[in-house]
A and B are shown apart, each in its own frame.
Chain A
């Protein structure tokens, strides 16, 4: 059977706005992906644990609260602790340009800021999956 791309969409941290995350979830679904939506106020621990249980290929996180410099690298750290290096991790939300290089250095594969076309995000996922098994 055809390989389905599974994506975990999560909102780490305390901001209560998930409209953007839902728009992304819907766009990925319409692109034929299976999207596990975990909802608001997720800790990095919950996100990593859920991504293992759900065996996802991609973790897509959205943050609007400004806590991205702490939360995104923390997710990468936990994944590393668990020995997981084949999941594509992406970030999005209100993230200043200046912060992006640091996040990428921490292992976030791409950061999509407001206004990014959903087609770009879909293409990025399709071209950058780490797992091909």
Chain B
């Protein structure tokens, strides 16, 4: 555990000595289920994570957690407080919890998160939970790391719930309405379902529809419409602990499934088994359809692209090119050159070397 902790620190400060260790580890792993927990500040992400750890431990799984909190943009300092809710697991050998500060990185995670996940995976943890900072509208980096994203909402945010719908609401694989004992929880469940169903009605590109269509193709017996499935209730009740597979009801539509919306009260543990079941059902669907592989491929390609862009930027900022950059900036400013011509010039300069 100590070696893991040290290596993650080296990753965090981008110490060159991390590379040898990462190289040695790279052949291991690939088996862990990476679960992202995201949602607005105060939604109960840390408490949910604590309870999810508990459920997974009872199922005999080894669990690692990366909990991200924001760094101050002014001092660079950070209060990492997610751990408070999880300290009961501190002495459990089957649980590793690490707090990460964003260190200036936007997007809801820290730059080190991706590599840290690979280390924990190689170390043999069965489940890796990544808890993002409290998110607003566009912190969607978690989809690049997690196999399954749990989007946590709570009642009482009023119009804020509307606000987040356009952004992060689209990245959920499993939806969780926490603090379901509070007034307005049923309304939040209903709003999320309507949002998801409307996306299906509209034929919008969603994260979930291709997966559900592929799963349905594997198992034609599996009901994809509420009318065919006596086991599912189609009412609007938001009973705690129950999960809601509401499906859009449009005849002739190939697949009506929408993600599960699970009501929980993390504080008391209500609904936690159901939530973990839905997380695992999603994993099973990813595995059965081959989406796990394709999702990870796409994510890694994206990460490689981002890494490459960072290297290009670093090389542009080396002394001799910095001069070129400054010259080109002047040329554009003085109307001697078009912006895109300047970019082309830079690209040529880069590919020459």
Contacts and interface: CB of A to CB of B under 8 A. Distances in A.
Interface of A: 1-4, 6, 25-26, 28-39, 42-43, 45-46, 49-50, 52-55, 82, 84
A79 B101 CA distance: 25
B96 A42 contact: no
A46 B71 contact: no
Interface in B34-90: 71-72, 75-81, 83-84, 87, 90
Contacts of B15: 1
Contacts of B71: 34
A62 to B, nearest CB: 15
A38 B83 contact: yes
B319 interface: no
* Chain B interface helix/strand/loop/mixed: mixed
Contact of A34 (B78, B87, B90): B78
Contacts of A6: 9
Contacts of B12: 1, 4
B79 A35 contact: yes
A79 to B, nearest CB: 12
Given A2-B76, A34-B71, 12 more contacts: A1-B13, A3-B13, A29-B78, A32-B77, A34-B99, A34-B101, A37-B81, A38-B83, A49-B90, A49-B91, A53-B98, A55-B8
Contacts of B313: none
A50 B5 CA distance: 10
Contact of B14 (A1, A38, A52): A1
Interface in B81-111: 81, 83-84, 87, 90-91, 96-99, 101, 103
A30 B87 contact: no
Contact of A53 (B79, B96, B101): B96
B1 interface: yes
Interface of B: 1-2, 5-6, 8-9, 12-15, 71-72, 75-81, 83-84, 87, 90-91, 96-99, 101, 103
Contacts of A4: 12-13, 76, 101, 103
B13 A50 contact: no
A45 B5 contact: no
Contact of A31 (B1, B6, B75, B91): B75
B91 A35 contact: no
Contacts of A50: 83, 87, 90, 97
Given A1-B13, A30-B75, A39 B1 contact: no
A89 B108 CA distance: 32
B78 A35 contact: yes
Contacts of B76: 2, 4, 32
B180 to A, nearest CB: 25
Enumerate the 4 nearest inter-chain pairs by beta-carbon distance, A residue then B residue, closest first: A29-B77, A55-B5, A39-B84, A46-B90
B83 A31 contact: no
A39 B50 CA distance: 15
Contacts of A46: 87, 90-91
Contacts of A34: 71, 77-78, 80, 99, 101
Nearest to A55: B5
